Structure 1
């Protein structure tokens, strides 16, 4: 297809960043076309833990990561798995990642992400209120669990930086945990309760509500996949795989992990990897229901209470986005999680898997494309895409309209690569 009228903004990607950008642009009086092949189950926005985290300031490339690399490389740690069939594809990202496994880079990333994460919950709550979706969001915090005093002590630097950035948390002694969260069966030494963090009962449903609100407010939805994006006189155009193109004054690429291949067709070589993840839903079989998401740091898994039951999520898999699924990690953590919670039968035939768009420095890519003045990049959010999607959409709308950025976005510039 080829559109007969040119919208102000055409957005590639219908996940949380893309739909939030659409709402923010519509609120500023712009005409919007949203281009996405469809199928919310295929998006990382559907499959995540649903945590709107105030304290997710830290990239995976931390100062303690290098000493763990041999164990990770041999796939002996359930938290990270390397698909060696994809090694050549992920090697540039991996080398850049290793260079950032130091405290200086970690602290710099935390400072850059702090304003984004600080604004995340309020922006979610504001938009959810406008579109009638606040029933999907709760704010009971989330809990990081430590199996030993030594494991808790290893997180001292993280807690120091949380306090430095005024992120509220409380340390809970293991003896107090059964009263605080009665659903826990396993005994832990310590826990850290992130009190300002929210969570979403149905992440995919929330994104669908965003999309529905955008449509109701005048956005045009096009079910198609982008082949490339090109400059087009005083605008840009999205060339579709099915033929034809969509012309717009500005094109926003918010395509998640798919942005890697799309931007390569435009001549960019951004170090973007697909951090694949898996989840599975189970019935909550406990007499006491889990009241908030938990992260068992020793087990390498997260469990979130969602409308579908208990959502169990495994760690990171470094693989090509289109590599065949490998359920090794999710199967391993299921057995472990059953020692922590009363988990019933699965409610679906197979685990879900998807890909997070991840940069080596742990920062999203938000800003105008260096060689395409009518194109704005908005991807690479890694583990905080759902959390910071709405505030990212607001920032993109500010870029599109030429308004002053409401938050510092310099560290997210595509030019840093």
Structure 2
């Protein structure tokens, strides 16, 4: 009986386990419709206008609720930039055009200056190599050669000496080192002019006088430092030393804003008074007696040295060519000495003249005299103007003159207040 009870319970347990089947609850996936962007019926500009109107209306609604509504509206109106801008005047357009021309001239002089500096180095090296080769051939021809070798060496050295003579004549005529210095100075002056025009444009309100002045400066620079070699080339060996002039002569300057500056300076007329006028007169006197006189003296010495070297080089190579031609025909030693020693001396002279760039030094001195001459004319132009309002502002002019002479305004006043003995020992400029 007990066994029957156990078996019945076991069968009922198995039946319940069989009926309990496992179930898995899978979440239902809801498929939603994908909405494609609707192509607006209005244009993009209309949509943006609609959004802007909506934002502005919303902002206005919120601002109206603000107790400071009227103040906000006034501030918004005043801060709104104008929709139209004032067109450029014809003077501004002209000054931009002249500034572009000045930048183009700057690049031209810079490139040509580098080219002519290369001429100097290449021609000097070539001429010295030709001269020394000719001297070597002349020496070999006199070492006992005869017949065809002697003739070949004589003819070769003679041709080389004649070629060196021709190259030296051309080289000494054009002075490549001096040409390169001219272009360097012109490039610096055109860069300075470009900066002046840019400053004038930044100050605003240019007039026709500014345009004419800028145009005259460009033309004066073109005349002072020409680009071509033939026809308009500057004289490299002038009879008298004159300062380089790269500014328009008898110019009439007009300075903007002098009335306003002069009105702010109490006790002065546009920044000018008797002490400043006396100071400028003293500076002009020192420039004439010391700076300009000293550089004129140095320029004359350098010009004289350059003339001697320019003549000596071709003469020596010509005599050396003559000596080579007489080798074997004259039963003496002087043709050989003339051929060899003449070539060696010619190489030394050429190296001193073109390697030392004596022409460049002369042009540098001449431009320095022109720098002092420009300072003198600028001071006198302001001093001769009776109407103080038409002068450049006195305080600004004093600062400019002092810095151009590499001095501070206090040092400039100290120089002007010195007695005659101290002034005679000191130069006005500390820059050169």
Give the TM-score range, shorter chain.
Answer: under 0.3
Instruction: Name whichever structure is richer in strand by fraction.
Output: 1
Higher RCO, 1 vs 2 (CA within 8 Å, ≥6 residues apart)? 1
Instruction: Name whichever structure is richer in helix by fraction.
Output: 2
| TM-score normalised by the chain length of structure 2 | 0.19
